Amino acid sequence: MSDVYPSVEELPVLSRLALSYAPKVAREKTLGLLALDARLAGIVRSASEPMLAQLRLAWWRDQFAKPISDWPEGEPLLATLKAWREQARALGGLVDGWEHLAGEGPLPANDFSALASARGDAFGALAILLGADDAREECKVAGREWALADLLSRVSAPEETVALRELAGKAAFGPIRLPRAMRPLALLHGLARKAMDSGRSLDDLPPSALLKALRIGLVGR
């Protein structure tokens, strides 16, 4: 892609796989969301102190509070997110969600729940942006459930694993049919369901799960 876009290689492997099934008209906007989520996760993961992560997250929050015309030039990810137009303000909620993970661990269940909900809300905003308004609530649920499975693959502290498993246990993780514009989310949610059903991490799914991903990417279920 053009160098005005963030690199797809910066995305986690499963996000890259999901993005490859985005319809052409949805690709740029979906890339923006997945890349922002990965960037914010990297800020939280790499910060040596919570305050440093909070300062860097605050910069992103400030941008999304401004009109797009006031965004600084030279940041490829912001350039991509201009395509979000009036929904760009919703991305501030995703920043807030990731800030819940910037504290000292072990983190309580409420922090993980807040981030999972924020990621779900961001996918709901993407649905509106892509003209899939009728599927907004389903996208929020699918995004939240994928987020819980994804977070389970990231944490290592026993207390955090227990907290996340309790949250995931309260979620339905049932089949959700999404419109074609949201095919990447359908793929991510399908893999999350597979991970929860098998008791495995998203990073430790068997080859059969990848076949499931290919099927979801092609037919949506």
State the Cα–Cα distance between residues 62 and 121, nearest whole angstrom: 19
Give the pLDDT score at 6: 65
Give the pLDDT score at 34: 97
Domain boundaries of the chain, sorted by first residue = 8-219
State the Cα–Cα distance between residues 156 and 201, nearest whole angstrom: 12
Give the pLDDT score at 44: 95
Highest mean pLDDT among 5-9, 92-96, 191-195 belongs to 92-96
Per residue in 25-34, pLDDT tens?
999 999 999 9
pLDDT above 60 for 3: no
Per residue in 76-99, pLDDT tens?
999 999 999 989 989 999 999 999
State the Cα–Cα distance between residues 175 and 190, nearest whole angstrom: 8
**Residue 61: CB partners within 8 Å, gap ≥ 6?**
92, 95, 96
Higher-pLDDT residue of 214, 48: 48
Distances (CA, A) of 95 to 19, 55, 113, 120, 195: 21, 11, 14, 13, 26
**Residue 98: CB partners within 8 Å, gap ≥ 6?**
40, 41, 43, 44, 57, 115, 118
State the Cα–Cα distance between residues 172 and 149, nearest whole angstrom: 12
Write the Ramachandran bin of 12: left for phi over 0, alpha for psi from -120 to 50, otherwise beta.
beta
pLDDT above 80 for 16: yes
